[in-house]
C-alpha cells in the first residue's frame, strides 16, 4: 500500500497533460483501437493520480457513480456465474476503465469550464471539419486524402478506412461540432447543412437516421429564428439528399429500396431479408428466449455463435455481438441486466434534459439527444461495449455527468 502511495505521489502529473489528452480524443478515435485504448488508459491513470493527491474522492461521487458501480458489479457477477470463462471476466473488469474515463472527462470539463471548455470543443469542431472535407473528397474522387476507400459501393470510409466506424464517429461528434457555432446563425445553418449531407453520403444507414433525428431536434430547440425560417433552411439539405437519392442508383437502393419503400408498402419483411445480420438477430432472440433472466453471459455471444456454426452446423457467421444494442443486452445479460442499464440511460436522458431546461445548457442537450438516439431500436446498431463505440458514448455521457460533480 505504501509502495502504491509513493508511486502515485512521485508521478509528475498536472492538469495540462490531461487536458492535452482530452484535446487528442477525436484524433485517437481515427487512429485505431490501440491509440484509443492508450488514450483512455492515460486519461484514467492521470485522473486517479490527481484525485488521490488532491483527496477529492468525495467530490466526484454522485448518483451516477453508484449507478455505474452497480452496473460494473452486475457485469462481474454475470461473467463469473453465467459466462464462466476468463475472457468474459477480464472484459467485465475492463468496464471499470470507462467509469474512470467518463468521470475524468466530466471532472476536467467541470473544473476548467471557463478556461478550456470552449477551446476543447472548438478544436474538436476543427477535427470534425477536416474529417468532413476528407469524406467529401472521397465521395468526389473515390478515395480519401490517405488513399483509403470503402470496400462497399455507396459508402465512405474516411480516415478510419471503415464505413461503420466513420459513421459512428460522425454520429458521436455531430451535435458537439454544430454546438460550438450555435450562436452564429449563418455559420450554424451553413455547417449544419454540410454536415447533414455528409452524414448521408457516408452511406451508414442506422447512424444517418440517428443523426437526422437528433440534428432536427437540436436545430428546432436551439436556433433562435422563426419556425417558418427553420423549415425553409432545413429544406435545403433535405432537397439535396433527395436529389442524390434520385440520381444515384446505389444510394437509391440503400436508402429508398431497403428502408423507405418497405415502410410505405408495409412490407417490413423485405428490410429484414436484405439485412446481412438477420441470422444474428434470430440467434440473439433464441438465446434470450432460453435465458430470459440473466442471459447467456457477458461477452458470450461470440462463443455461442461459434458453437452454433461449428458444432451444430448452423448457417451463421461468428461475431462478437448481434449488431443490435437491445438484443445484445437481452441475450447476454438477460432482463435483469437489460433493466439495470436501460434504467440508467433513461435516467440520464431525463436528467440531461432537466439540466438544459433549468440552466439553458446546450451541451447537456446535445449529450441527451445522443443518448436518446443510442436507445433507438434500429438495425443494425452496433454494440454497447466495444472500445470504439463505448469511448464515443462515454465522452458524450460525461457532458451530463459533469453537472453532478460538486467541485
Least confident of 77-86, 243-252, 329-338, 383-392: 243-252
Could you tell me which residue, 232 or 270, shows the higher pLDDT?
232
Provide the 8-state DSSP code for 312.
Answer: S
Structure confidence by residue, pLDDT tens digits, 298-355: 999 988 888 777 776 677 777 888 889 999 999 999 999 999 999 999 999 999 999 9
Residue 75 and residue 297 in contact, taking contact as beta carbons nearer than 8 Å: no
Q: How high is the mean pLDDT of the chain? A: 87
**Share of residues in the chain with pLDDT > 70 (%):** 89
- pLDDT for residue 388: 94
Q: Who contacts 161 (Cβ-Cβ below 8 Å, separation ≥6)?
A: 148
374/178 Cα distance (integer angstroms): 19
The pTM (predicted TM-score) of the whole model is: 0.92
- Confidence bin at 57 (pLDDT 50/70/90): confident
Q: Specify the residue for cell string 478544436.
A: 123
CA–chain centroid gap for 191, Å, is 21
Average pLDDT over residues 277-287: 86
Question: Nine-digit cell at 187?
Answer: 455559420
Q: Which residue has the higher pLDDT, 6 or 246?
A: 246
Written as nine digits, the cell of 407 is 467541485
Residues 17-47 have pLDDT tens digits of: 888 899 999 999 999 889 999 999 999 998 9
Give me the pLDDT at residue 166, please. 93
Q: What is the DSSP string of 100-134?
A: HHHHHHHHHHHHTTTTTHHHHHHHHHHHHHHHHHH
Residues 6+ apart with CB under 8 A from 31: none
Amino acid at each position: 500500500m505504501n509502495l502504491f502511495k509513493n508511486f502515485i505521489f512521485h508521478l509528475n502529473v498536472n492538469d495540462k497533460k490531461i487536458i492535452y489528452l482530452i484535446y487528442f480524443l477525436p484524433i485517437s478515435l481515427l487512429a485505431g483501437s490501440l491509440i484509443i485504448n492508450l488514450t483512455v488508459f492515460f486519461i484514467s491513470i492521470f485522473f486517479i493520480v490527481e484525485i488521490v493527491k488532491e483527496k477529492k474522492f468525495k467530490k466526484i461521487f454522485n448518483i451516477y457513480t453508484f449507478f455505474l458501480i452497480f452496473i460494473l458489479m452486475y457485469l462481474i457477477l454475470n461473467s463469473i456465474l453465467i459466462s464462466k470463462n476468463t475472457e468474459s471476466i477480464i472484459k467485465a473488469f475492463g468496464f471499470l476503465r470507462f467509469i474512470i474515463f467518463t468521470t475524468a472527462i466530466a471532472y476536467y470539463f467541470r473544473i476548467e469550464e471557463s478556461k478550456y471548455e470552449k477551446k476543447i470543443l472548438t478544436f474538436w469542431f476543427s477535427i470534425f471539419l477536416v474529417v468532413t472535407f476528407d469524406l467529401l473528397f472521397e465521395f468526389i474522387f473515390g478515395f480519401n486524402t490517405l488513399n483509403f476507400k470503402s470496400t462497399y459501393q455507396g459508402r465512405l470510409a474516411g480516415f478510419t478506412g471503415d464505413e461503420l466506424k466513420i459513421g459512428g464517429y460522425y454520429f458521436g461528434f455531430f451535435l458537439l461540432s454544430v454546438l460550438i457555432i450555435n450562436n452564429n446563425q449563418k455559420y450554424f445553418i451553413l455547417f449544419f447543412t454540410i454536415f447533414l449531407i455528409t452524414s448521408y453520403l457516408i452511406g451508414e444507414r442506422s447512424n444517418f437516421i440517428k443523426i437526422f433525428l437528433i440534428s432536427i431536434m437540436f436545430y428546432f430547440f436551439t436556433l433562435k429564428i422563426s419556425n417558418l425560417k427553420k423549415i425553409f433552411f432545413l429544406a435545403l439539405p433535405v432537397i439535396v439528399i433527395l436529389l442524390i437519392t434520385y440520381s444515384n442508383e446505389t444510394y437509391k437502393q440503400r436508402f429508398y429500396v431497403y428502408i423507405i419503400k418497405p415502410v410505405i408498402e408495409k412490407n417490413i419483411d423485405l428490410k429484414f431479408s436484405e439485412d446481412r445480420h438477420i441470422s444474428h438477430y434470430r440467434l440473439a432472440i433464441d438465446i434470450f428466449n432460453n435465458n430470459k433472466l440473466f442471459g447467456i453471459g457477458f461477452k458470450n455471444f461470440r462463443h455461442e455463435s461459434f458453437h452454433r456454426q461449428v458444432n451444430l452446423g448452423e448457417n451463421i457467421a461468428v461475431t462478437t455481438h448481434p449488431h443490435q444494442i437491445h438484443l445484445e443486452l437481452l441475450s447476454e445479460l438477460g432482463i435483469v441486466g437489460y433493466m439495470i442499464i436501460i434504467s440508467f440511460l433513461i435516467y440520464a436522458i431525463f436528467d440531461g434534459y432537466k439540466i438544459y431546461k433549468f440552466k439553458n445548457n446546450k451541451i447537456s442537450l446535445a449529450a441527451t439527444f445522443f443518448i436518446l438516439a443510442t436507445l433507438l431500436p434500429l438495425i443494425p446498431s452496433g454494440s454497447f461495449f466495444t472500445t470504439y463505440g463505448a469511448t464515443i458514448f462515454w465522452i458524450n455521457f460525461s457532458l451530463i455527468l459533469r453537472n453532478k460533480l460538486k467541485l
